[in-house]
């Protein structure tokens, strides 16, 4: 389920970054008891330490935690972070490193430059995640679940453009 207000137009506007979020429902649940999903958390405050875990272009085989960075600013659903991300980091989770366990608090949307320094832009999960969960529960996704394919079989990976 892609955020209903997301519009891809090639430019990293604040509206595009704010709504650059999608939710994927797996065809079957993960039955491996050693796999523990990460919790999500509230939008981090300015100055809070965060980290990006990604498969950037030079690490396509395995995810890794990039350097620890911090939230520089947040405004209307867009976070500006000191994380120096690269191509391939789009869609990567941003983890809050405060507390006992890491929590996903944002998703990388774009890389940018601010005052001559590389920064990353992320979408805040507040509100958007709940909206996407409700939309998916109401059957408003792309319809690739077994109930909509007619076959009831695994349809495999699908790449869909908004």
Residue 154 forms part of a structural domain: no
Decide the pairing of beta strands 69-75 and 49-54: antiparallel
Question: What range does the domain containing 68 cover?
Answer: 14-149
Residue 52 forms part of a structural domain: yes
How far is Cα 70 from Cα 67, in angstroms, rounded to an integer?
Answer: 10
DSSP letter assigned to residue 61: T
Q: How many helices (H) and strands (E) does the chain have?
A: 3, 8
- Determine the average pLDDT of the residues in 5-11: 82
DSSP letter assigned to residue 63: -
Burial class (CB in 10 A: 0-12, 13-18, 19+), 49: middle
How far is Cα 145 from Cα 151, in angstroms, rounded to an integer?
Answer: 10
What pLDDT is recorded for position 139? Answer: 84
- To the question of pTM greater than 0.75 for the whole model, the response is yes
What pLDDT is recorded for position 77? Answer: 87
Residue 9 forms part of a structural domain: no
Residue 147 pLDDT > 50, yes or no?
Answer: no
Residue 3 forms part of a structural domain: no
Residue 151 pLDDT > 50, yes or no?
Answer: no
**Residue 27 — very low, low, confident or very high, per pLDDT cuts 50/70/90?**
confident
Decide the pairing of beta strands 39-40 and 103-114: parallel
Q: At 141, which CATH number?
A: 2.40.10.10
**Number of domains, the chain:** 1
- Are 120 and 54 spatial neighbours (Cβ–Cβ below 8 Å)? no
* pLDDT tens digits along 85-136: 877 788 889 999 888 888 999 999 988 889 999 999 999 898 899 999 999 8
Q: Identify the three-state secondary structure at position 17.
A: helix
**Residue 149 — very low, low, confident or very high, per pLDDT cuts 50/70/90?**
very low
């Amino acid at each position: 389920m892609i955020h209903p207000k997301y519009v891809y137009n090639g430019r990293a506007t604040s509206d595009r970054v704010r709504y650059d979020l999608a939710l994927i429902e797996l065809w079957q649940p993960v039955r491996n008891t050693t796999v523990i999903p990460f919790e999500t958390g509230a939008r981090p405050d300015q100055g809070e330490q965060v980290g990006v875990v990604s498969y950037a272009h030079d690490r396509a085989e395995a995810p890794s935690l990039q350097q620890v960075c911090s939230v520089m600013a947040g405004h209307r659903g867009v976070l500006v972070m000191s994380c120096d991300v690269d191509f391939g980091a789009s869609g990567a989770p941003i983890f809050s490193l405060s507390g006992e366990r890491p929590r996903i608090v944002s998703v990388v949307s774009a890389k940018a430059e601010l005052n001559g320094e590389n920064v990353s832009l992320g979408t805040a999960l507040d509100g958007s995640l709940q909206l996407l969960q409700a939309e998916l529960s109401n059957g408003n996704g792309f319809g690739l679940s077994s109930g909509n394919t007619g076959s009831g079989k695994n349809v495999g990976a699908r790449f869909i453009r908004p």
